[in-house]
Amino acid sequence: MKTPSLSTRPPGFTYKGSSLFVEKISADTLTERFGTPLYVYSTAALRERYAIFDRAFKRVPHSVCYSVKANSNLSILRMLAKMGSGFDVVSGGELERVLTVDRKAAKKVVFSGVGKQAPEMDAAIHAGILLFNIESESELELLAERSAKLRKKTRIAFRVNPDVPAETHPYISTGLREHKFGVPITDAPLLYAQAASHKWLEPVGVSVHIGSQITDVAPFGATMERVANLVRNLRAQGHDIRLVDAGGGLGITYRDGASDLKTFEHSVRKYSGALLPPLKNLGVQLLLEPGRSIVGPAGALLTRVLYCKQNGRKTFLIVDAAMNDLIRPSLYGAHHEIVPAKIEKGASMTVDIVGPVCETGDFFARDRELPALSEGGTLAILDAGAYGMALASNYNTRPKAAEVLVDGSKAKLIRRRETYKDLLAAER
Ligand SMILES: *Cc1c(COP(=O)(O)O)cnc(C)c1O
């Protein structure tokens, strides 16, 4: 049978004959064994993507601090920690995950976020993390108080808002003056002076993060120009600035037909090519916080077609995954390539792929052309490794999906499917 040109994500997700494989296991084998909806991740894809990212910065002292919020499964964090990754956390809960995986990883943790609370600060100070990214004057004062109380020196950077527009969805653009993130870059000199006046705080870095799913690298370069100027100013004021945290945000090609590692390597090279020139001769250590670009294409959501139904001129495929499992289409109008686990004979069809949740916004694709597919067949929603499970909820009292990590011909359950008992456990 001739394979139609369907999207694939080698080395994780490719066709062998008419069957979709996750590395060396067919998607159908996985769903038979673990059920649906099922998140599946490819070890090879994760490893390769991390390595490609890391390699693109090998010319400069740097640390990759994987952004935990993109996918926070312990097994994935453990794998990245073993490869030498540090972590960017945005809550006490995420810090707890990292410490659970590897206590020693604390020294490679950066803590970001606009609403850190005292107990979260205490846990991070106690663990001895690498860097706090401070986002307001009030937060600075609270952190100074907590560090004094614990009598521990705390390394800090301010997350500055460079006022650089980035082409992305407005919900995930963060680098403009009117956004809640960071401090205005023009206020930075005063804030660093204020920080330096606190005995237990050490201002050692400058941080930025301008948004997510940014595919044009020019805004990253423009941001680094501004950061480099600030570093020079701060040094002239006597601050020992040794770290520049460039944040995350490198986008992936959700629409590509066959998005392979070469494509990724090319895009990361362009990214490092934009970040590095402005930092030349500064002699700083560069911190990078990629999330999506590492895990996004390494994961897919497998879902079974429950019903095919015709309403007037429209055909709906009702699948067993829903917006509570993967909210990106509903929340951002995001596009995901969707491919069948098994290519069947027959005419292609144009369908809306929707979930069982009681909201019209519960859809994965609208007016999408798919190869022939029968009820009971399985679909793979590609590029679901980032902001998929991490954003899952129990809406409609739906248990969260199971997660499986595939390594060659081995599949490991890394999060069991939730039960109704789990769902009700915290309530009375
Ligand atoms: C979300 C976030 C990231 C990761 O962004 P990606 O687009 O997934 O690479 C990095 N740093 C901070 C501060 C973030 O909030």
- What CATH number is given to the structural domain containing 406? 2.40.37.10
Q: Determine the pLDDT at residue 168.
A: 78
Contact, 381 vs 327, CB < 8 A?
no
pLDDT at 174 over 80: no
In the listed set 277, 292, 307, which residue is the last one of a domain according to the structure? 292
88 CB near ligand 1 (under 6 Å):
yes
Q: Determine the pLDDT at residue 177.
A: 76
Q: Is residue 377 part of a domain?
A: yes
70 CB near ligand 1 (under 6 Å):
yes
Q: Determine the pLDDT at residue 21.
A: 98
* Mean per-residue pLDDT of the chain: 95
Residues 312 and 195 both lie in one domain: no
Residues 198 and 321 both lie in one domain: no
**CA of 384: how far to CAs of 64, 204, 366, 380, in Å?**
21, 36, 17, 9
- Structural domain harbouring 152: 43-292
Given the residues 347, 358, 425, 426, the one annotated as active site? 358
pLDDT at 3 over 60: no
pLDDT 10s digits, 309-359: 999 999 999 999 999 999 999 999 999 999 999 999 999 999 999 999 998
Q: Is residue 193 part of a domain?
A: yes
- Say whether 358 is catalytic: yes
Q: Is residue 5 part of a domain?
A: no
Q: Across the strands, what pairs with 3?
A: none
In DSSP notation, 94-156 reads HHHHHHHH-GGGGGGEEE--TT--HHHHHHHHHHT-SEEEE-SHHHHHHHHHHHHHHT--EEE
Residues 239 and 319 both lie in one domain: no
Contact, 212 vs 172, CB < 8 A?
yes
Q: Find the angle CA(71)-CA(9)-CA(386) to the nearest 5 degrees.
A: 15
Q: Is residue 4 part of a domain?
A: no
Residues 260 and 146 both lie in one domain: yes
Residues 76 and 108 both lie in one domain: yes
Q: Across the strands, what pairs with 109?
A: 87
pTM of structure: 0.96
Q: Cis link prior to 11 (omega < 30° from 0)? A: yes
351 CB near ligand 1 (under 6 Å):
no
pLDDT at 1 over 60: no
Q: Is residue 216 part of a domain?
A: yes
Q: Is residue 3 part of a domain?
A: no
Residues 310 and 404 both lie in one domain: yes
Work out the percent of the chain whose per-residue pLDDT is above 70: 99
Residues 224 and 288 both lie in one domain: yes
Other beta carbons less than 10 A from residue 380's beta carbon: 27
Could you tell me the distance, in angstroms and rounded to a whole number, from the CA of residue 380 to the centre of ligand 1? 25
**CA of 220: how far to CAs of 8, 90, 209, 267, 279, in Å?**
28, 21, 9, 13, 12
Could you tell me the distance, in angstroms and rounded to a whole number, from the CA of residue 151 to the centre of ligand 1? 31
Q: Across the strands, what pairs with 42?
A: 406
- What CATH number is given to the structural domain containing 112? 3.20.20.10
Residues 281 and 325 both lie in one domain: no
Q: Determine the pLDDT at residue 258.
A: 79
Residues 351 and 408 both lie in one domain: yes
Residues 141 and 280 both lie in one domain: yes
Taking the C-alpha atoms of residue 407 and residue 410, their distance in angstroms, rounded to an integer, is 5
Q: Which residue has the tokens 């590395």?
A: 23
pLDDT at 249 over 50: yes
Residues 280 and 308 both lie in one domain: no
pLDDT 10s digits, 35-74: 999 999 999 999 999 999 999 999 999 999 999 999 999 9
Taking the C-alpha atoms of residue 299 and residue 302, their distance in angstroms, rounded to an integer, is 10
Structurally, the chain folds into a number of domains equal to 2
DSSP code at position 288:
E
In the listed set 229, 262, 292, which residue is the last one of a domain according to the structure? 292
Residues 270 and 386 both lie in one domain: no
Q: Determine the pLDDT at residue 242.
A: 98
In the listed set 276, 292, 308, which residue is the last one of a domain according to the structure? 292
> By CB neighbour count within 10 A (0-12 exposed, 13-18 middle, 19+ buried), where does 161 fall?
buried
Q: Is residue 321 part of a domain?
A: yes
251 CB near ligand 1 (under 6 Å):
no
Q: Taking residues 258-285, report their average pLDDT.
A: 96
What would the two tokens of residue 232 be?
Answer: 């020079």
